[in-house]
Structure 1
Amino acid sequence: MVSVLRLRRALRFFVVLPIVLLAGCGDFFPPINGGGSSSGSDIVYVANASSTSVTAYAMSTGALVAVSGSPYTLSFTPTAIAVTPANTFVYVAGSGVVYVYSIGTGGVLTAANNGAAVANGNVVSMDISPDGKWLFTLDADGTTIEEYSINTSTGILTAASGALYTFGAGTTPVPKAIKVAPNGNYVIVALGTAGEIVYGFNTSTGAMSESQRLSAPGSTSDNAIAMDKNTAYLFIARSGNSAGLGVYTIGTGGALTIVSGSPFATSGQSTSVVVDNTATYVYVGNQGDGTISGFTIGTGGALTALSGSPYSAGKTMTALAADSTGKYILAAANGGSPDLGMYAFDSSTAGRIYTVSSTTTAYGPVAVAVTH
């Protein structure tokens, strides 16, 4: 068992790269315009590596409609993106830095913090606690998680007490994903061939302590994780010898117990996973063949493949997301058209999804985040 290092990291930026948010004419960094989308619809934000940009689309009409000013140009290559639960800020990480943007009317983004970075670190994944008080980043160095408290008025981050957590000697992780449990009690990281680490989390104090390690099967990479809204199950997208969707029950203290039949078969090289907002269905993005595998979540976490699964999707799948209304699943792919697909649920066949809108802009999406 590895001790938690209680270190405080001051946020000092000796070199700050400027961000260009092309949201219209006027000041280079327009003032924060209050925050909080009043568009009346979910917005999906997409971090694009090829074009070093963030694109934003509204979904209220049943189609992907570009938000005013989108795409927003960045001065760095993004790797991760996250939206606060109150839909006030978007955090974008990449090239050793983290920047914050306020969300305005219609989902429009404006550079916050006077356009300066709010944190540093080579981030591969990040997530925000359900109460919006804490942001966690998983570093590409393969050894650390960093924790920050969020100023909910300005979006500025401050390194939390005991902010730096390491995985310990003898561990050879390949960092993939970090997720905060919907109930706020756990933080779980996926570390490729090194499996998962579960941390107990106190959202009042920000304290985090390791509670369990889950080994990945031999010659298997755990690439992405998701939990249902009830924090009852952990879903792991896997590739390699034990490819498919691993399913575990989440017990007292975050204890993980494998569900009978796990891993459940997908169509190959699963690299992303999302649970719909009813906790009834789970979907897996398969990078190998550009498909989405869908399952019904049954008693005890047992899965049953959905009718028509796997569903055709974009080439080289990179990320999945679900909108808060429960109407759509979003799928990003950076290997060609479409870059971003929006899928609706077939009313005649439970859980089955079909494409209702897509973009073909070839921006190279690597991560997506949807308003809550």
Structure 2
Amino acid sequence: MRTIFDRSIRKSSPHRSLLRLSAVAGASVLLAACHNPFHSASVSGAGTPATTTTTTPTPSYTVSTLGVHAGLSALSPSTVAAAASPIGVAVDPTSKYVYVANSSSKTVSQYTVGTDGSLSAMSTPTVTTSASPQYLAVDPSGKYVYVSDHAHADNTIAQYTIGSGGALSPMSTATVATGRSPTYIAVDPSGKYVYVVNSSDNTVSQYTIGPGGALTPMSTATVATDTLPFGLAVDPSGKYVYVTNLTSKTVSQYTIGSGGALTPMSPATIATGTGPRGLAIDPGSKYLYVANSSSATISQYTIGSGGALTPMSTATVAAGNFPIQIAADPGGRYVFVTNYNDNTVGQYAIGSSGSLTALTPATFTVGTHPRGIATTKKYTYVINNGTNDVSQFAFDTIGGGNISPTSATVVSGNTTTFTLTPNTGYTVDHVTGCGGALSTNTYTTNTITTACTVTAYFTTSVP
């Protein structure tokens, strides 16, 4: 995650200018120019014509303070190419590698993550998979990747090992059978079990993970869901599994037994909005959120001590047009949802009681028909199904550090410096604007001759 401070400067006169910068911890500043022109006249001796002299006006700058807004900011470049019809995305536990399932091209794209969060295709940019790959899951050890194949002719999970540089290699047993039309897939936090939704069977298949990563169906190979299951999530405590059911407008809820097998809770389901698809759980296992595609809302629940869901007092919050997938950031402060029909990502803050509040701005434009989304503590990746690419963002948050001095006055043609002080758990990521340069935690602008903005980015010290 990163936090930002903006120092915006607007110049209004081509004449000699005075630049006033103001930096307030936790705030961005907008500097708007105003003039203070004046006119003076001098009169010569008797019989000599009077002469009038006009003094060139010197602009001054008025500072207005604006609040910093958390949310997404596009990396450069803002997108990277995927293959045809990408759907799902997964990030490995070290946040070094990203994998994307490309449904029409029957491949998985594989990327390395740069120091600035941007993706680069590996030397082997894709690996072949089955007929219609949909969603992916990486095990907590970062050794294995599992991909669901939605095609009726296959109905499998492709299984891969992750090499030292992140590249995927098919296991000796390349696939394992599922039910019909598998979609969402997840690995439990212990790295022992895998679960996949079978949308045409109304079941969840359940597997154990062997020593080399290969999957073996449990003795009870499937458990029943409600009608037309779609999304699946395992809570971070490793105790519960939740499944959205499109037709039934419900979430099925299960406990995970000692051997990994699922047992329905009582009640077995709880109501959602219309068209529930993706779901996400905060890292503290306190709250669960469901994207309701047809009702354009997000249902929000608290998770009880036994795992059962209870709708919050505000049961839903508004989303965009056809919200489809949703992710909670690993820091437990924000939630993001892909809005398929209006080509945006909605962004929300998680309140003290778990209820969501839209950030400002409430949405961020991405490519056409966004679907999958994955987030780390620093970066967020969105799969654009219609434009066959991945939007990539830094994540900015409030509270990462301060910038000083709180004010500075600079004559045009001179430079000024800012000192960046990160809070505990943060470092200075980078600083941009005014043609300046960063040395350790000091940023020095170039000579000021035109309007410019200085932006300081603080990032968490962990991935």
**Would you say the 8 A contact 1:179–1:188 is kept in 2?**
yes
Q: Which residue of 1 aligns with 2:24?
A: none
**Is 1:291 the equivalent of 2:344?**
yes
Is 1:335 the counterpart of 2:386 in the alignment? Answer: yes
Structure 1 unaligned residues grouped into runs of 5+:
1-36, 351-371
> Quick one: higher RCO (CA 8 Å, sep 6+), 1 or 2?
2
Of the three residues 126, 141, 162, the one matched with 1:71 is: 126
What is the aligned length? 301
Matches of residues 143-222 of structure 1 in structure 2 within 5 Å?
A: 143-151=202-210, 153-167=211-225, 171=226, 173-194=227-248, 195-202=250-257, 204-211=258-265, 212=267, 213-217=269-273, 220-222=274-276
Offset of residue 319 of structure 1: 0.9
Separation in 2 of the partners of 1:174 and 1:208? 18
CA drift of 1:346 comes to 2.9
1-structure distance, mates of 2:358, 2:327: 15
CA contact (8 A) 1:200 1:208 kept: yes
The question of 1:344 aligning with 2:394 is answered yes
Structure 1 residue 112 corresponds to structure 2 residue 171: yes
Asked if 1:54 is matched to 2:108, the reply is: yes
Q: Distance in 1 between matches of 2:120 and 2:317?
A: 35
CA RMSD of aligned residues (A): 2.0
Partner letter of residue 110 of structure 1?
Answer: S
Task: Report percent identity of matched pairs.
Answer: 33
Verify the 8 A CA contact 1:85 1:132 in the aligned structure 2.
Answer: yes
Q: Does 1:253 align with 2:306?
A: yes
1:131 aligned to which of 179, 190, 202: 190
Q: Which amino acid aligns with 2:322?
A: Q
Structure number, greater radius of gyration: 2
- Say which SS state the counterpart of residue 107 (structure 1) adopts: coil
Contact persistence 2:244–2:276 (CA under 8 A)? yes
Q: 1:119·1:157 contact (CA, 8 Å) conserved in 2?
A: no
Give the direction of change, closer, same or farther, for the CA distance of 1:347–1:255 in structure 2 (3 Å limit): closer
SS in 2 for 1:307: strand
Aligned residue in 1 for 2:407: none
Tell me, yes or no, if the aligned pair for 1:307 and 1:349 is still in contact at 8 Å: no
Determine the structure 2 residue equivalent to 1:304: 357
Pick the aligned partner of 1:263 from 316, 331, 338: 316
- Alignment partner of 1:322 is 2:375: yes
Shift of the alpha carbon at 1:176? 1.1
Given that residues 133 and 148 in structure 2 are in contact (C-alpha distance below 8 angstroms), is that contact kept between their aligned partners in structure 1?
yes
Contact 2:206–2:261 (CA<8 Å) still a contact in 1?
A: no
SS in 1 for 2:191: coil
CA distance in 2, matches of 1:186, 1:283: 22
Structure 2 CA distance for aligned equivalents of residues 206 and 347 of structure 1? 37
- TM-score for both structures, normalised by structure 1: 0.77
Provide TM-score, normalisation by structure 2.
Answer: 0.62
Q: Residues 125-161 of structure 1: CA distance to partner in whole angstroms, max 9, x if unpaired?
A: 111110000001110214211110001x322111112
2:283 equivalent in structure 1: 229
Task: State the distance in 1 between where 2:350 and 2:301 align.
Answer: 12
CA distance in 1, matches of 2:187, 2:234: 7
Distance change >3 Å, CA 305–CA 123, structure 1 → 2:
same
Task: After superposition, give the CA deviation of every residue in 1:158-217 in whole Å (9 maximum; x if it has no partner).
Answer: 1112221123xxx5x222111111101101101113111100112x32232111311234
Partner of residue 97, structure 1: 156
Which structure dedicates a bigger proportion of its chain to strand?
2
Paired residue for 2:51?
none
Distance in structure 1 (CA, Å) of the matches to 2:104 and 2:261: 37
